[in-house]
Structure 1
Amino acid sequence: MSRISLEQASNILAGAMAKGSELGLKPLSVAVLDAGGHLISFARADGASNMRAQIAIGKAAGALALGVSSRIVGTMAVERPTFVASLASMAPQGMVPAAGGVIVVNEAGLAIGAVGVTGDTSDNDELAALAGIEAAGLNAQG
């Protein structure tokens, strides 16, 4: 497989939202991007605030741009704040250095897209992203 289909993206959205409901999380927003950083699908739960689309896309796009989860981008921001801050202005879709952006890989371990989740704590956002990827029968980057 070399890309995430619209059906798989829809399953990711549903799985992430279901995980949010199961855990009683605050209203989530979920973005699914292809490997080129283009938006495939997005969902915003009732009550989610108005910048959540940009934040979810920024988490996923930042992960794709650097080839690591947005959790690791967050660690990089602490270790090398000037470097990460400079990248944000270059990233066309922004870059959010906080957990919740997870790269989706194919069987060979190559990136085929990414999921970004926002709305609750960053740790919970990441849990929802991972649940969405699993619900679609796909794999998260290890």
Structure 2
Amino acid sequence: MTELTLETARKIIACGFAKAKDADMKPLGIVVLDARGAVKAVEMQDGTSLMRYEVAHGKAYGALALGMGSRAIFKRAQEQAFFVDAVNTLAQGRMVPVPGGVLIRDKQRIIGAVGVSGETSDNDEIAAISGVEAAGYTADAG
């Protein structure tokens, strides 16, 4: 049974930042959570704006809470706004239902989630997926 290690979390962040640099993205904040939702690693690039940690954490937290990437949560919010709002109320507002939160899977098992904030939601998701895949895991954006 594979667990998300600190080394892997750091690799996800480093590779997400590398993708952002290659794509000339704005400064990002990246948060990696383990399967139980505890923060495994977090880094904010120089120049990130205020609240990037909270937004990145909310994307990853929402993915773990509902077992789907935040893109899927975003789609569900468009179709069932009352449901997503109710779940976010239960989560005390900790979910951010927009792309950029990606589940980390080892085969089919969820071992954690990564949330990225700082760019457009689509670009945040690209950086998250890139980091997860570079670490040798499957990224599930929804």
Q: Quick one: distance in 2 between partners of 1:73 and 1:24?
A: 27
Residue equivalent to 2:4: 4
SS of residue paired to 2:72? helix
Deviations 1:9-44 (CA, angstroms, capped at 9, x unpaired):
000000001111110111111000001111000011
**What are the within-5 Å matches in structure 2 for residues 32-43 of structure 1?**
32-43=32-43
Q: Which residue is equivalent to 1:140?
A: 139
Q: Percent identity?
A: 47
Change (3 A) 1:80 1:93: closer
TM-score (norm 1): 0.94
Aligned residue-pair number: 141
Runs of 4+ aligned residues of structure 1 deviating over 3 Å after TM superposition are none
Distance across 1 between alignment mates of 2:93 and 2:48: 20
SS of 2:17's equivalent? helix
Contact 1:54 1:93 (8 Å CA) reproduced? no
Amino acid at match of 1:13: I
Aligned-pair CA distance for 1:82: 1.2
Matches within 5 A, 1:56-135: 56-91=56-91, 94-107=94-107, 109-135=108-134
Q: Residues 47-105 of structure 1: CA distance to partner in whole angstroms, max 9, x if unpaired?
A: 11120111101101101111110001001111111111111122257111111100011
Question: Structure 2 CA distance, aligned partners of 1:65 and 1:15?
Answer: 25
Letter of the structure 2 residue corresponding to residue 134 of structure 1: E
Change (3 A) 1:137 1:93: farther
Structure 1 stretches lacking a partner, 5+ long: none
- The corresponding residue for 2:49 is 49
Q: 2: distance between equivalents of 1:34 and 1:10? A: 12
Alignment partner, residue 19 of structure 2: 19
TM-score (norm 2): 0.94
CA RMSD, 1 decimal: 1.3
Contact kept in structure 2, 1:57 and 1:93, CA below 8 Å? no
Task: Go from structure 1 to structure 2 and tell me whether the alpha carbon gap of 1:59 and 1:28 turns closer, same or farther (over 3 Å shift).
Answer: same
Aligned counterparts of 1:105 and 1:93: Cα–Cα separation in 2: 25
